[in-house]
């Protein structure tokens, strides 16, 4: 069963009488365990598509289903709860809370889930260890490098044990070597934990790591290399 279904999705932004078509009839499915990249130049619709799949915005036309839930049928409260329990987000600007330590930043979504304090602390420590930051628990964002901050963001995305992680240009603010290290880390987490990753990028070196590439141009899917064998076993889409 597909984890994500995007069916004939169109997104139109209207400002006064001006319309901008960000997406035009986009359709595809993601199977559990995929490691897929959205590629395309700026303005091609990558971020818009991630926001729609993440329930941060709604399509103008079409439907999106994630983990069996049709997003357009959920109330605002149910959608927020669904995002918290099912999805992890990694933003190119990190979106860390400056006054909190790395550990506290990673704990934050568990606090929203009302996870007990002892379990919350343990899971946050484990997530930071998974991304190689066990020695940096009590440092605040300004005391960390860009690559370290992005790894904190990955740990925060993973700590809720999501089924799907959405990453918008996760290497955009990193040097090439640090960016590749981050992608290798995401690959490892995909293999070891079975988490599905969908990330946007225009970096050719990052695209090489993806097992599937969906290319967008002017809001259209212009190429889809198709799902390959899932690390969870079997062939997605079969």
Q: Which residue has the tokens 């880390």?
A: 185
What pLDDT, in 10s, does the model give residues 159-169? Answer: 998 999 999 98
- Of 27-31, 75-79, 117-121, 127-131, the poorest mean pLDDT is in 127-131
Q: Does pLDDT of 238 surpass 70?
A: no
Q: Which residue has the tokens 């036309």?
A: 61
Q: What percent of the chain has pLDDT over 90?
A: 74
Q: Does pLDDT of 156 surpass 70?
A: yes
- Three-state SS for the chain is CCCEEEEEEEEEEEECCEEEEEEEEEEEEECCCCEEEEECCCCCCHHHHHHHHCCCCCCCEEEEEECCEEHHHCCHHHHHHHHHHHEEEEECCCCCCCCCCHHHHHHHHHHHCCCCHHHHHHHHHHHHHHCCCHHHCCCCHHHCCHHHHHHHHHHHHHCCCCCEEEEECCCCCCCHHHHHHHHHHHHHHHHHHCCEEEEEECCHHHHHHCCEEEEEECCEEEEECCCCCCCCCCCCCC
Q: 156 — phi, psi (to 5°)?
A: -65, -40
102-to-51, 91, 110, 180, 185 alpha-carbon distances in Å = 25, 16, 14, 22, 18
Residue 129 confidence (pLDDT): 92
Query: pTM surpassing 0.85?
Result: yes
Residue 90 confidence (pLDDT): 92
Pairing of strands 4-15, 61-66: antiparallel
Q: Which domains does the chain have, with CATH numbers?
A: 4-224 (3.40.50.300)
């Amino acid at each position: 069963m597909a984890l994500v279904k995007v069916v004939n999705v169109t997104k139109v932004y209207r400002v006064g009488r001006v319309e901008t078509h960000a997406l035009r009839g986009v359709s595809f499915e993601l199977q559990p365990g995929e490691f897929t990249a959205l590629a395309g130049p700026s303005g091609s619709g990558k971020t818009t598509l991630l926001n729609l799949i993440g329930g941060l915005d709604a399509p103008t036309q079409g439907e999106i289903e994630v983990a069996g839930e049709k997003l357009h049928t959920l109330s605002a409260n149910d959608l927020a709860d669904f995002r918290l329990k099912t999805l992890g987000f990694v933003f190119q600007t990190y979106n860390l809370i400056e006054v909190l330590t790395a550990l506290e930043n990673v704990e934050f979504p568990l606090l929203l889930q009302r996870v007990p304090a002892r379990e919350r602390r343990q899971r946050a420590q484990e997530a930071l260890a998974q991304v190689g930051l066990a020695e940096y628990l009590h440092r605040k964002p300004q005391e960390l490098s860009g690559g370290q901050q992005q790894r904190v963001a990955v740990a925060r995305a993973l700590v809720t044990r999501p089924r799907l992680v959405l990453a918008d240009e996760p290497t955009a603010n990193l040097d090439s070597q640090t960016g590749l290290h981050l992608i290798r880390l995401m690959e490892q987490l995909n293999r070891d934990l079975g988490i599905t990753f969908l990330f946007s990028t225009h970096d050719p070196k990052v695209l090489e790591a993806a097992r599937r590439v969906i290319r967008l141009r002017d809001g259209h899917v212009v190429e889809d290399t198709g799902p390959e064998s899932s690390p969870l076993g079997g062939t997605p889409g079969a």
